[in-house]
């Protein structure tokens, strides 16, 4: 297992990130959007600002990822057209509205000072959960 930033990967991790994110957050909040994890993954793989993410990888397999930011939350971008195309008109509109509110425009109940770092969107692929992969990714 190796720990890498985007410029060190040599491949686009978005498809795998969408799958990991959809699977990891399905029970918590995403199952209400669609019962199909594959469609959810496809609808979500465009949202990540990859420059802010760190990855645990083995070969070209993304095992885990986390966004590490300084002074601001990670930038996520939701494309309404993509959400509607992947999930259908009604589900896509609902997903766009809900996720935009919760993920993109969320606020904290406290102020984050400019020079303070944050760690967000920590997710581990199902096959690698319980093995300390995310812990190792976040441990210096």
Tens of pLDDT, residue by residue, the chain (140 residues)? 999 988 899 999 999 999 999 998 898 888 888 899 999 999 999 988 888 899 999 999 999 999 888 766 667 889 999 999 999 999 999 999 988 888 877 777 888 787 888 888 899 999 999 999 999 999 97
State the distance between the two ends of the chain, measured CA to CA, in whole angstroms. Answer: 15
Phi first, then psi, for residue 56 (nearest 5°) are -105, 120
pTM here is: 0.86
Give the domains, in start order, of the chain with CATH numbers: 2-138 (3.40.630)
Tokens at residue 83, please? 């959400």
């Amino acid at each position: 297992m190796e720990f890498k930033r985007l410029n060190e990967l040599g491949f686009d991790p978005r498809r795998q990130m969408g799958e990991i994110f959809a699977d990891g957050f399905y029970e918590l909040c995403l199952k209400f959007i669609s019962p199909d994890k594959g469609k959810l993954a496809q609808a979500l793989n465009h949202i990540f600002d990859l420059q802010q993410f760190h990855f645990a990888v083995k070969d070209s397999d993304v095992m885990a990822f986390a966004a590490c930011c300084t002074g601001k939350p990670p930038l996520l971008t939701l494309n309404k057209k993509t959400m509607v195309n992947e999930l259908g008109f009604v589900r896509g509109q609902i997903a766009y509205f809900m996720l935009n509110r919760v993920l993109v425009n969320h606020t904290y109940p406290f102020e984050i000072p400019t020079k303070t770092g944050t760690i967000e969107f920590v997710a581990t692929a199902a096959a690698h959960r319980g093995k300390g992969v995310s812990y190792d990714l976040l441990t210096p």
